[in-house]
């Protein structure tokens, strides 16, 4: 495959055309340096065949401290060196991303004003930056040069200038954020040119890359796809060895690396145009929800780009290219673009990870799950949801003889609700490939007969419906969202449907979205989908709900559901005013908290996932692994 072929970039050659792009990991140290956890994280992707690893963005000047664990270039020499040494052993090129977040940063950590071209408030924090004085501009340009020199001296193969999301360079380029009357505003590209010149000069023969927002999704003043090829050509004429085509700006921070609600490969058209506009000596990389090997291969084959950034895909499967090379492309663990644990630009500093591979980001701490077990055991896994399937997969990989049973078809709740479908499909395929016996439609009395003939039983029986904390009147029916998703019950064909969502999570919101104008989404919060902020889908979800005409009952506690003729009334109480109001609907669906299923009547059964406590895919997969390695 073309993806696995080498790619010359500048004076060097990447062993494959797949990039592991720069992203926030929160693996950094308090002193803003890289750590051993970073080294292990990147090395694992290099070992797995990544051609180019671009390290987490490092601020080029002390005025930039956008998140607590953001690396600062002047403190990165040792970390860069260690990462380069570890990754070079596998042939990968290692590039430092050089950043300044400008007005999109935060003053929380530096306790100093933000620097930006003009006084445009940051969209989410509404913080107003200081417009940069000439001395400030000179200091940042100088900082880019110094950082580039340090990166190359530390043994890296080059640097990448961030003019994509969260970047001062882009803020200078854009009419959205650069309203200056001086020379930096008269020609908005001038700052970027000065930065590239400084970096090119400092980098010597090393690689200089540019991450460029080619669509700010704000055509009234921003960079548009029509402008982007010209800008890219202008920048590349200054000696840029590669360009990564990205999109997004201040009003669209979540659109740069969006979740599964956006299509894959959304930058393909503009990337093709940029490829056509820049010289052959500049390699062009496609970015933008490319998580599928087939799409990536096609993009290279079709001349969209020379290489592809597949960051999340390699967080999900660190061996992506290695599998491609050995002809196992269909065995790559899919990235489902859920953004649940890899999107960590979050003040709480969560560690980057993956619902499919929870050991991503925890390379130095988690065990080698698939190491062979000393003794092969006969293992019965009860429940073929993600927890049971992962337990089965890992147990089989360790050499155990595994049977997994379920009353239903495999996949559990994850196969019918949320974006986990492709992951459970992969788990089923992997289990099959590893010789796990998967038996669907096995009733409890049957598996309890099976248990005694096994050495170990792992319970992964999932969750059951929660207990309503509101009253349900005589004759009134409240559906469980899981029953509807599984097709066990059907909604009436017409009439409004109340969706009770005390969680504010993806399941209730998605259900309301599908119902569209029929849905009345009931939330205790001021905003629908409160828990979606982690994935970046909070604002987009609310836009979708509004566009689909979903009615939202905010700040509402559900008090009662009562029968009303052929329909139902739902009594709601306002959390703050105490006012009680009713809504009239044809059906009510509860998407609230669930309960664990009862423990199996088996001594010393191991357990994993929702039957321990109903949570998410991440915990199910992690606990499935943990159960598998506990088999002794």
According to the binding rule CB under 8 A, does residue 348 interact with another protein? Answer: yes
- Which one, 533 or 582, has the nearer CB to another protein? 533
Query: Which residue lies nearer to another protein by CB, 130 or 197?
Result: 130
Binding segment for another protein (CB under 8 A), chosen from 58-66, 235-243, 526-534, 583-591, is 526-534
Q: Which of residues 529-588 bind another protein (CB under 8 A)?
A: 531, 538-539, 542-543, 546-547, 555, 574-577, 579
Segment contacting another protein by CB under 8 A, of 158-166, 284-292, 486-494, 590-598: 590-598
Residue 563 phi, psi (nearest 5): -75, 140
CA distance 552 to 313: 35
In the bound state with another protein, the residue whose beta carbon lies nearer, of 154 and 340, is: 340
Could you tell me the smallest distance in angstroms from the CB atom of residue 172 to another protein?
Answer: 17
Question: What track of x and - describes contact with another protein for positions 488 through 517 (by CB under 8 A)?
Answer: ---------------xxx------------
Residue (of 282, 280, 278, 310) closest to 294 by Cα position: 310
Q: Which is nearer to another protein, 184 or 447 (CB)?
A: 184
Instruction: Confirm or reject binding of residue 614 to another protein (CB under 8 A).
Output: yes
* Closer residue to another protein (CB): 442 or 528: 528
Binding mask 266-305 for another protein (x = CB under 8 A): ----------------------------------------
Local structure of residue 412 (DSSP, 8 states) = G
Q: Does 128 bind another protein (CB under 8 A)?
A: yes
Instruction: Look at the block and give the residue holding tokens 């836009």.
Output: 543
Residue 556: CB minimum distance to another protein, A:
13
Give CA–CA dist 245/262, Å, rounded: 17
b/e sequence 566-592, b meaning 16+ C-beta within 10 Å: eebbbbbbeeeeeeeeebebbbbbbbb
Instruction: Calculate helix-pair angle for 617-630, 386-397, nearest 10 degrees.
Output: 30
Nearer to another protein, 433 or 557 (CB): 557
**What is the DSSP pairing of strand 463-464 with strand 595-596?**
antiparallel
Min CB(184)–another protein separation in Å: 17
Nearer to another protein, 292 or 610 (CB): 610
Residues numbered 24-63 forming contacts with another protein, rule: CB under 8 A: 30
Chain centroid, CA 12 distance in Å: 30
SS3 501: coil
CA distance 243 to 286: 9
How many angstroms separate the CA atoms of 29 and 13, rounded? 31
Q: Are 413 and 596 in contact (CB under 8 A)?
A: no
Determine the Cα–Cα distance for residues 6 and 479; give it in Å rounded to an integer.
55
For the bound state, the minimum distance from the C-beta of residue 266 to another protein, rounded and expressed in Å, comes to: 20
Is residue 595 a contact point for another protein (CB under 8 A)? yes
Q: How many residues bind another protein (CB under 8 A)?
A: 51
- 526 near another protein, rule: CB under 8 A: yes
425 in contact with another protein (CB under 8 A): no
The widest CA-to-CA distance across the chain, in whole angstroms, is 82
Question: Sign of torsion, CA 283 288 291 297?
Answer: negative
Kind and range of the H or E element at 607? strand 606-607
- 349 touches another protein by CB under 8 A: yes
Residue 454 in tokens: 């096994």
The SS3 call for residue 69 is: coil
Between 196 and 528, CB nearer to another protein: 528
Q: Does 624 interact with another protein (rule: CB under 8 A)? A: no
Nearer to another protein by Cβ, of 69 and 149: the residue is: 69
By CB under 8 A, the residues from 60 to 79 that bind another protein are 68
Q: Report the DSSP pairing between strands 52-59 and 18-20.
A: parallel
Question: Does residue 114 interact with another protein by CB under 8 A?
Answer: yes
Minimum distance from CB of 334 to another protein (Å)?
Answer: 22
Q: Are 72 and 58 in contact (CB under 8 A)?
A: yes
**Does 224 help bind another protein (rule: CB under 8 A)?**
no
Alpha-carbon Rg for the chain in angstroms: 26
Q: How many Å apart are CA 265 and CA 299, to the nearest integer?
A: 9
Q: Is 464 in the site for another protein (CB under 8 A)?
A: no
Burial of 302 (C-beta count, 10 Å sphere; 0-12/13-18/19+)? exposed
CB of 532 to another protein, least distance (A): 12
Residues 6 or more apart in contact with residue 149 via CB below 8 angstroms: 202, 203
Q: Which stretch binds another protein (CB under 8 A): 119-127, 197-205, 396-404, 438-446?
A: 119-127
Q: How far is the CB of 459 from another protein (least distance, A)?
A: 13
361-380 binders of another protein (CB under 8 A): 362
Answer for which of 279, 347, 452, 565 binds another protein (CB under 8 A) is: 347
Q: Which of 113, 155, 239, 495 binds another protein (CB under 8 A)?
A: 113
Does 185 interact with another protein (rule: CB under 8 A)? Answer: no
| Burial environment of residue 349 by CB neighbours within 10 A (0 to 12, 13 to 18, 19 or more) | middle
Q: In what order do the strands lie in the sheet with 567-574?
A: 471-472, 556-564, 567-574, 580-585
Give me the least distance between CB of 464 and another protein, in Å please: 11
Task: Report how far residue 298's alpha carbon sits from residue 411's, in angstroms, rounded to the nearest whole number.
Answer: 30
Q: Residue from 111, 205, 453, 632 that binds another protein (CB under 8 A)?
A: 111
Segment interacting with another protein (CB under 8 A) among 188-196, 398-406, 434-442, 519-527: 519-527
Shortest Cβ distance from residue 326 to another protein (Å)? Answer: 31
- Least spacing, CB of residue 594 vs another protein, in Å: 7
- Select the span of 77-85, 372-380, 385-393, 591-599 touching another protein (CB under 8 A): 591-599
Dist. CA 617–CA 98, nearest whole Å: 34
Q: Are 568 and 585 in contact (CB under 8 A)?
A: yes
Q: Determine, following the binding rule CB under 8 A, whether residue 612 of this chain makes contact with another protein.
A: yes
Token pair listed for 85: 């040494």
**Binding of residue 418 to another protein (CB under 8 A):** no
Determine, following the binding rule CB under 8 A, whether residue 329 of this chain makes contact with another protein: no
Residue 211, helix vs strand vs coil: strand
Q: Is 216 in the site for another protein (CB under 8 A)?
A: no
Q: How far apart are CA 607 and CA 613, in angstroms?
A: 10
- Using CB under 8 A as the criterion, which residues of the chain lie in contact with another protein when the complex forms? 30, 68, 107-109, 111, 113-114, 119, 121, 126-131, 347-350, 358, 362, 503-505, 524, 526-527, 531, 538-539, 542-543, 546-547, 555, 574-577, 579, 593-596, 612-615, 619, 622
């Amino acid at each position: 495959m073309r993806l696995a072929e080498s790619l010359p970039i500048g004076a060097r050659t990447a062993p494959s055309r797949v990039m592991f792009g720069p992203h926030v990991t929160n693996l950094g140290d308090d002193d803003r340096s890289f750590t051993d956890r970073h080294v292990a994280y990147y090395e694992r992707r290099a070992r797995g065949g990544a051609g180019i690893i671009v390290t987490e963005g490092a601020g080029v000047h002390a005025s930039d401290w956008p998140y607590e664990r953001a690396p600062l270039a002047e403190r990165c020499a040792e970390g860069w060196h260690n990462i380069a040494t570890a990754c070079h052993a596998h042939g990968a090129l290692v590039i430092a991303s050089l950043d300044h977040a400008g007005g999109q940063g935060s003053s929380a950590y530096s306790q100093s004003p933000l620097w930006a071209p003009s006084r445009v408030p940051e969209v989410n924090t509404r913080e107003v930056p200081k417009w940069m004085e000439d001395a400030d501009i000179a200091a940042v340009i100088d900082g880019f040069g110094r950082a580039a020199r340090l990166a190359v001296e530390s043994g890296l193969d080059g640097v990448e200038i961030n003019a994509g999301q969260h970047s001062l360079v882009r803020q200078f380029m854009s009419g959205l954020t650069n309203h200056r009357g001086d020379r930096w505003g008269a020609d908005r590209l001038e700052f970027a040119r000065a930065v590239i010149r400084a970096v090119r000069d400092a980098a010597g023969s090393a690689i200089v890359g540019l991450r460029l927002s080619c669509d700010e999704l704000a055509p009234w003043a921003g960079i548009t796809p029509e402008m982007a090829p010209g800008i890219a050509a202008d920048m590349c004429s200054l000696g840029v060895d590669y360009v990564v085509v990205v999109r997004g700006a201040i009003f669209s921070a979540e659109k740069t690396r969006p979740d599964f609600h956006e299509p894959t490969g959304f930058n393909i058209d503009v990337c093709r145009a940029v490829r056509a506009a820049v010289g052959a000596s500049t390699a062009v990389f496609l970015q933008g929800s490319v998580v599928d090997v087939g799409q990536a291969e096609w993009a290279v084959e079709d001349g969209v780009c020379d290489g592809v950034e597949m960051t999340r895909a390699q967080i999900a499967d660190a061996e992506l290219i290695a599998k491609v090379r050995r002809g196992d492309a269909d065995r790559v663990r899919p990235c489902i673009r859920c953004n649940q644990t890899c999107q960590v630009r979050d003040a709480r500093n969560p560690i980057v990870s993956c619902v499919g591979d929870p050991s991503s980001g925890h390379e130095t701490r988690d065990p080698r799950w698939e190491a062979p077990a000393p003794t092969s055991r006969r293992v019965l896994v009860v429940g073929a949801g993600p927890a049971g399937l992962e337990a089965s997969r890992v147990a089989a990989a360790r050499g155990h003889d595994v049977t997994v049973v379920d009353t239903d078809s495999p996949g559990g709740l994850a196969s019918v609700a949320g974006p986990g479908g492709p992951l459970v499909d992969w788990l089923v395929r992997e289990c099959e490939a590893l010789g796990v016996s998967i038996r669907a439609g096995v009733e409890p009395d049957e598996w309890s007969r099976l248990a005694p003939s096994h050495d170990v039983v792992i319970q992964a029986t999932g969750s059951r419906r929660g207990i309503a904390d509101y009253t349900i009147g005589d004759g009134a029916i409240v559906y469980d969202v899981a029953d509807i998703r599984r097709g066990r019950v059907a909604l009436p064909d017409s009439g409004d449907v109340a969706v009770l969502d005390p969680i504010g999570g993806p399941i209730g919101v998605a259900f309301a979205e599908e119902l569209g104008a029929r849905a009345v989404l009931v939330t205790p919060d001021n905003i629908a989908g409160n828990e979606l902020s982690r994935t970046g889908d909070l604002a987009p979800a609310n836009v979708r709900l509004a566009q689909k005409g979903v009615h939202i009952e905010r700040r509402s506690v559900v008090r009662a559901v009562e029968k009303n003729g052929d329909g139902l009334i739902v009594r709601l109480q306002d959390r703050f005013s105490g006012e009680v109001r009713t809504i009239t609907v044809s059906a009510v669906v509860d998407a609230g908290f669930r309960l664990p299923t009862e423990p199996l009547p088996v001594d010393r059964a191991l357990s994993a996932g929702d039957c321990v406590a109903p949570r998410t895919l991440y915990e199910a997969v992690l606990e499935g692994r943990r159960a598998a390695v506990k088999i002794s």
